[in-house]
Amino acid sequence: MQLPSTMKAMVLEQQMQPLILKTLPIPLPVAGQVLIKIIACGVCRTDLHITDGELTQPKLPLIIGHEIVGVVVKKGSAITKLNEGDFVGVPWLGYTCGKCKYCFKGKENLCENALFTGYTVDGGYAEYTVAYEQYCFPLNKKYANANGAPLLCAGLIGYRSYSMIDKAAETIGIYGFGAAAHLITQAAIFQHKKIYAFTRDGDYDAQQFALQLGAVWAGDSSKPSPVKLDAAIIFAPVGSLVPKALQDVDKGGEVVCGGIHMTGIPSFSYDILWEERSIHSVANLTRKDGEEFLKLAAEANIKTEIKLFQLHEANEALRQLREGKFTGAAVLMMPD
Ligand SMILES: [Zn+2]
Ligand SMILES: [Zn+2]
C-alpha cells in the first residue's frame, strides 16, 4: 500500500490553549510498533484534564486522544501478532516496562515506566499514529468503526471500576452519567445488577438516557438514594460526591472513584465511613481489563451512543464535553 508522507493532526502546543490543525510527517514505527491509519478517535474527559492543565506532565507539543480505532498499515520489525489490514484499538496504556515491582505484581496499570497514549506519547487526534503491538487490542469487526472508540477508555475504565466492586453487589449507584456510565450500565444490567443513576441536578436528558438504558432509577445527585446501595461508582470529577455516595451506600458498601482527576473532597464525619464502608480509586488499566471487557462488550452486545465530529472540530467536541452538551460519547472521525 502506498502511504502518503504527511498527515493532518490536531496539536496541543500549550495547555490552556486550543488545539491547532497541523500537517505533520507520518510517524515511523520502531521495533515492536505498528503504524495505524486511524478511523476514529473518542474524546475522553481525560483529554479535557490535559488541555485544561489539570494533568500537569504532558509531552508538548502533543497529539491527544486515547480511544483509537484504526487499521494496521505498516509493521516495524519484531511484530509477531498483527498483520497489515488488522483492525485494532489503542487504549490509554501504551507501554509498560515489565520489570518494575508493579509489573511483577501484575499491576501494570501502576507501572513506574509506563507510557500513556495521548499524554506522554502522541495519540489519536490525527490521521495516523504508531503504537506498540503488545498494547493494541484486536477489534471485532462490529467495533472497528466510530462505535468502538468509546469502549477503549470510557468502557475500559468503567469496567475496571465495576470490577473493583464485590461480585455479590446487587444495587449499584453511578454518579455522573456520561460515556463510561452508559457503557458499564449495559454490562451491569446484562449481569443482572440494578443501576441507580445520579446526574447533575436537573439534567433530565441524562436521566432519561439512563432510564432508556435500563437503570431502575435516575435522579439528581444532590438527592438521597431511594434505597441503600451495595456499591457506588463515581465518574463525575466532583469531590463532593464522595461523602454523598458514602451516605448512599449500605454497611460494607464500596465507593469507587473512576476518574483520573477530581476536585477536592470536603471533609466529612467518620460515621459515614464507619461500618466498613470503603473508598477506592482506579488508575489506568491493565491489558487483562481490556481483553475481559471487549469480550463482555460483545457478549452483552453493548451499544455506544456517540456524537460524531470531524477531526478539525476537536476543539468544539472538547467544549461540548466540558459543558455537558450531549449524552453518551463524542468521537472524532478522520477524513478518508
Ligand atoms: Zn513496570
Ligand atoms: Zn480516557
**Rounded mean pLDDT, 165-178:** 96
- Average pLDDT on 104-130 reads 97
Task: Tell me, in angstroms, the distance from the centre of ligand 2 to residue 303's CA.
Answer: 18
For residue 105, which ligand has an atom nearest its CA? 1
For residue 115, report the distance from its CA to the centre of ligand 1, in Å: 10
What is residue 162's predicted lDDT score, i.e. its pLDDT?
97
What's the gap in Å between 29 CA and the centre of ligand 2?
24
Q: Which residues have C-beta under 5 Å from ligand 1, the single-atom ion?
A: 96-97, 100, 103, 111
CA atoms of 249 and 229, how far apart (whole Å): 4
CA of 103 to the centre of ligand 1 (A): 4
317 and 125 in contact (C-beta within 8 Å)?
no
Quote the percentage of the chain above a pLDDT of 70: 100
Q: Ligand 2 centroid to 150 CA: how many Å? A: 9
The yes-or-no verdict on residue 182 having pLDDT over 80 is: yes
Q: How far is the CA of 92 from the centre of ligand 2 (A)?
A: 7
**Rounded average pLDDT over 283-287:** 95
pLDDT at 88 over 90: yes
Query: Looking at the predicted structure, is the pLDDT value of residue 236 above 90?
Result: yes
The bound ligand whose nearest atom lies closest to the alpha carbon of 180 is 2
With cell 489506568, the residue in question is 284
How many angstroms does the Cα of residue 260 sit away from the middle of ligand 1?
19
Q: From the CA of 271, how far away is ligand 2's center (Å)? A: 34
Residue 1 has pLDDT above 80, yes or no: no
Please state the separation of Cα 138 from the chain's center in Å: 17
In the reported structure, the alpha carbon of residue 106 is separated from the centroid of ligand 1 by a whole-number distance in angstroms of: 9
Q: Look at residue 203 and tell me whether its pLDDT is greater than 90.
A: yes
Query: Which ligand ends up closest to the CA of 110?
Result: 1
pLDDT value at residue 2:
83
Tens of pLDDT, residues 242-262? 999 999 999 999 999 999 899
**21 CA to centre of own chain:** 24
**Which amino acid is residue 255, in one-letter code?**
V
Amino acid 336: pLDDT: 79
CA of 153 to the centre of ligand 2 (A): 4
Q: How far is the CA of 197 from the centre of ligand 2 (A)?
A: 20
CB count in 10 Å sphere of residue 97 = 13
Share of the chain above pLDDT 90, in %: 96
Question: Ligand 1 centroid to 93 CA: how many Å?
Answer: 12
Whether the Cβ atoms of residue 13 and residue 59 lie closer than 8 Å to each other: no
Q: How far apart are CA 334 and CA 336, in angstroms?
A: 6
pLDDT tens readout for residues 287-325: 999 999 999 999 999 999 999 999 999 999 999 999 989
| Whole-angstrom Cα Rg for the chain | 20
Give me ligand 2 centre to Cα 234, in Å: 15
- Find, among 154, 160, 55, 151, the residue nearest to 108 by Cα: 160
Ligand (nearest to CA of 329): 2
C-alpha 45 to ligand 1 mean position (Å): 25
pLDDT for res 132: 98
Q: For the residues 272-295, what does the mean pLDDT come to?
A: 96
Alpha-carbon separation of residue 59 from 37, 62, 112, 119, 197 (angstroms): 22, 6, 17, 6, 36
* Distance in Å, CA 58 to ligand 2 centroid: 14
Q: Dump the DSSP string for 94-138.
A: EE--S-SHHHHTT-GGG-TT-EEBTTTB--SSBSEEEEEGGGPEE
Q: Is the pLDDT of residue 265 over 70?
A: yes
Residue written as grid cell 444532590: 222
Residue 269 CB neighbour total at 10 angstroms: 10
Q: What separation in Å is there between the alpha carbon of 284 and the centre of ligand 1?
A: 13
**How many angstroms is it from 98 CA to the middle of ligand 1?**
5
Mean local confidence (pLDDT), 24-37: 97
Q: Exposed/middle/buried for 7, CB within 10 Å: 0-12, 13-18, 19+? A: buried
Alpha carbons 248 and 228: distance in angstroms, whole number: 6
Q: Which ligand is nearest to the CA of 68?
A: 2
CB neighbours of residue 336 within 10 Å:
5
Give residue 327's pLDDT band: very low, low, confident or very high (50, 70, 90).
Answer: confident
The stretch 128-141 carries a mean pLDDT of: 96
Residues 6 or more apart whose CB falls under 8 angstroms from that of 271 comprise none
Ligand 1 mean position to 283 CA, how many Å? 14
The pLDDT of residue 10 is 98
Cα 3 to Cα 98: distance, rounded to the nearest angstrom? 33
The ligand whose atoms approach the alpha carbon of 111 most closely is: 1
Smallest CA-to-CA distance from 79 within 139, 49, 34 is with: 34
